[in-house]
Amino acid sequence: MNKTILVVDDDPGMLDLCKFALEGVGYAVNVALSGEIAIDLYKQDPAAISLVLMDYSMPGLNGVETAREIRKINERVSISSFTGTKNTEVVELLAEENMTPILAKPFGLQELVEVIESQIGKPESGAS
């Protein structure tokens, strides 16, 4: 099964960085600039998305609100989150909503890949 990640963040630079880095290690990546766009993309083909990785703080729907809507479509979907806040209430809310592991911004490529591999495994590769 192809491992496709949907990355959701309102920062285009963060989306570009995640897409470039994750495609570089072998994952397929879709990106969304908002929770609303992420929900629309997810609805198109829920079975194609192995993991949703999203920022907590976004205009419109935040990460938790977006996760709740996506889980109405597929309650078993893997969702991880990242956030720039150190607010313990936010971190606790993300954990309660099963949006873990939680990456703290800024994070490195190795940390990002480790979180994704812990959720969905390594990407399939045709080469070594």
pLDDT of 24 over the 60 cut: yes
Four-CA torsion 53, 59, 60, 61, nearest 10 degrees: 30
What is d(CA 117, CA 75) in angstroms, rounded to the nearest whole number? 20
Q: Are 7 and 22 in contact (CB under 8 A)?
A: yes
What is d(CA 38, CA 86) in angstroms, rounded to the nearest whole number? 24
pLDDT at residue 87, as a whole number: 85
pLDDT of 128 over the 50 cut: no
Phi, psi of 127 (to 5 degrees): -120, 170
pLDDT digits (tens, 9 = 90+) for 34-73: 999 999 999 999 999 999 999 999 999 999 999 999 999 9
Q: Which residue has the tokens 């812990």?
A: 118
The pair of three-digit structure tokens given for residue 60, joined into one six-digit string: 């419109």
* 4-120 CATH fold: Rossmann fold (3.40.50)
**E-assigned strand segments in 33-122:** 51-55, 78-83, 102-104
The pTM assigned to this predicted structure is: 0.92
pLDDT at residue 84, as a whole number: 87
pLDDT at residue 127, as a whole number: 44
For the chain, domain boundaries: 4-120
pLDDT digits (tens, 9 = 90+) for 68-116: 999 999 999 999 999 988 888 988 999 999 999 999 988 999 999 999 9
Rg, C-alpha atoms of the chain: 13
SS3 state at 28: strand
The pair of three-digit structure tokens given for residue 113, joined into one six-digit string: 């890949």
pLDDT at residue 2, as a whole number: 67
